Amino acid sequence: MQINRVPRSGIKSIQRSVSYLNLVDTLDVAVSAVDMSKAELKFLGLRTNSANYGATVELVDSTTVRIKRAVASNWTYVSWELVENE
């Protein structure tokens, strides 16, 4: 009997957070280092007290996620996930 091995591929790491922006429009969040060529940053959603809402998430370097909200409000929660593939 012969057993064929499937090459291993998949997820190396997952980092998730809900980041809170209060009285700031941009927030840099420190994350564990990832290989940017194998990383995928996902915007999962937001909650705010502003009628004009919106936010973006960006992987600016291997250890920093930057969150920007579209308009000033009293508070904004942004949920995101950073996946590094093998």
| Per-residue pLDDT tens over the stretch 10-48 | 999 999 999 999 888 999 999 999 999 999 999 999 998
pLDDT at 6: 53
pLDDT at 68: 94
Residue 37 belongs to some domain of the structure: yes
Q: What is the Cα–Cα distance from 81 to 14, expressed in whole angstroms?
A: 7
Residue 3 belongs to some domain of the structure: no
Model-level pTM?
A: 0.84
Residue 22 belongs to some domain of the structure: yes
pLDDT at 60: 98
Q: What is the Cα–Cα distance from 45 to 41, expressed in whole angstroms?
A: 12
Average pLDDT, the chain: 90
pLDDT at 73: 72
pLDDT at 70: 83
Q: With helix as H, strand as E and coil as C, how does the chain read?
A: CCCCCCCCCCEEEEEEEEEEECCCCEEEEECCCCCHHHEEEEEEEEEECCCCCCEEEEEEECCEEEEEECCCCCCEEEEEEEEEEC
Q: What is the Cα–Cα distance from 44 to 17, expressed in whole angstroms?
A: 10
What is the number of domains present in the chain?
1
Domain that includes residue 75, residue range: 11-85
